[in-house]
Amino acid sequence: MEKIKHAKAYNIYNNLVKDNRIDGYFYNKYIAELLELKQFIGIDIFYFIYIILDKKYLKTALIGNRKKHRIRNEATRYTSKKHIKEFIFGMHGYYCLKCGSKSNITLDHIIPIIRGGCNSTDNLQPLCQSCNSSKGSKIIDYRGEQP
């Protein structure tokens, strides 16, 4: 019985070493499996595996954050291009399509980049700073509505 538990722990370790992407789902899965074996494999082996798991989880989270940053930067670079602004404001007017404000007008991604939207003019609408930030990552198309 002990041997089987140790073999299971060894399997977990092997899988963990091969896994390069440990997101929240896999983290919880590994933890649940490890906790089940904890009393059989002993605290040393438990922590030995746990530390590897923890490091990989942090690394995965870090890469995810870097990717989000890069995507956000690309989106900002696109919406700050002069000819893109001129095109969108020329089409919709220089005011917020939600509240009608004419100050602090920004270009909003209708489908946010983080949710799979793209940097193209048909995914952009003028919104003021405050309407843009209250929209957050929701998908709301204000075009065709009169503020």
Interface contacts to Zn ion, rule CB under 5 A? 96, 98-99, 101, 128, 131
Q: Can you state the angle between helices 24-41 and 2-18, rounded to 10 degrees?
A: 150
Give the amino acid at 57.
Y
Q: How far is the CB of 127 from Zn ion (least distance, A)?
A: 6
Of 17 and 91, CB closest to Zn ion: 91
Of 58 and 99, CB closest to Zn ion: 99
Q: What's the token pair of residue 123?
A: 């995914």
Q: How far is the CB of 70 from Zn ion (least distance, A)?
A: 28
Q: How far is the CB of 123 from Zn ion (least distance, A)?
A: 18
Of 20 and 103, CB closest to Zn ion: 103
Strand 105-109 to strand 124-128: parallel, antiparallel, or no bridges (unpaired)?
antiparallel
Q: How far is the CB of 104 from Zn ion (least distance, A)?
A: 8
77: number of Cβ within 10 Å: 10
Of 50 and 95, CB closest to Zn ion: 95
44: number of Cβ within 10 Å: 8
Of 16 and 131, CB closest to Zn ion: 131
Q: How far is the CB of 93 from Zn ion (least distance, A)?
A: 13
Quick one: which H or E segment has residue 69? helix 43-79
Q: Cβ neighbours of residue 142 under 8 Å, at least 6 residues apart?
A: 97, 98, 125, 127
